[in-house]
Structure 1
Amino acid sequence: MTEELPDSAISSWGGFVYQGKIALFHSIKLLLDESFEGKEVKKFALQLDSTDDFAIYSDGIAISVHQVKAKASPYRSAFEKALNKSSKICIDCCPNTKRYFHIANEIDDSSDYENEKKAIVEFYKYDEDSYCKLGWCFKKYAGIKRIHY
C-alpha cells in the first residue's frame, strides 16, 4: 500500500504572499505620493483578488488594476496568457484605468503589452527595474533603497 501525499500549496501560498506585499507596497506609495498619474488621490480603496489580483479604487472607479506573478521564468512567453487576461479586465474601469503587471524576476522583454483592441498593460516600474525580487522591493521613500521582507 502506498501513501499519497497531498498536493503542496507552498508555491501558490508564496505567490499569494508576494501578491499581498506588492499590493501593500503600491498602496503605501500612493499614500506617500498622494497622487496617481498626476491626479491628487487622498482617498482610495485597495481591493484584493476581485477585479484582478489587486485594484485601486477612487470614487468607485478602478484607477489601476494589477496582475502579480511570482514565476521564475526569464521569458516573456511564460506570461503571455496572463498579460492577455490582464489586458481584458474592464470591471469598474474607465478609459483612464491603468493596467499593471508585476513580476518577481527580470525577463527578456518587459515592454508594454497591447491587445487587439489597443488595451495596454504596463510592466510596473521599481525605480529603473520592471521586476521586484521575492525577497526585496525597491523603495525611494524615507531614504530606503531596499526593503527586506
Structure 2
Amino acid sequence: MELRTKYSGALLIVVSVLGLPMSALAQSNTPSVSELFNAVDKNHDGYIDGEEDKAANRARFVKFDTNGDGQFSRAEMLAANRKFGQSETLAQQVAQLYLTRMDTNHDDAASWEEFEMWSKKNMFDPMDMDHDGKISRKEFIMQASPSVP
C-alpha cells in the first residue's frame, strides 16, 4: 500500500506537469511509466536529479498558482482537485490534507518554498531508494510497480 501511495503521488505530479488530465490515466493512450520518467529527465541521462525534479515541481506550482501570487491557495487546490475529476467532498478532503502538511506557516496556502520542501521530503527523497541524490529509471519504475512488496 505504501508504494502505491508513493506511486500515485509521483504519477499525479508528472501527469500534472505534462498537462494531462487524470482521466487520461484510464485511457489507452496513457503515457507509460517510462514516458513519464523521460518527461522529467530533461537531459536524458537516465536519472531525475534534484534540479530536474525542482524544475518539474516549479512548473506544476506555476500552473496551479492560477492568480500568480506565489501561493498555492486552498481555492486553487480545490480547483486543481476538481479538474482532476474529484468530487467536491474529496476535493475538500485532499486540499485539507495537503495544506495541513505543506503549509508550515499556517496561512492557509503553500508558498513555493513550502511546496518544494514538501515535494522533496514526500516525493523525491522516498523514491531515491539508494540515497544518491537522484532517481534512477529503476527506482522510478520500482515505485510504480504494484507487484513490488
Fold-level similarity (TM above 0.5): no
Larger Rg over CA atoms: 1
Q: Which has the higher helix share?
A: 2
Q: Which has the higher strand share?
A: 1
Higher relative contact order by CA 8 Å / sep ≥ 6: 1 or 2? 2
Give TM-score scaled by structure 1 length. 0.28
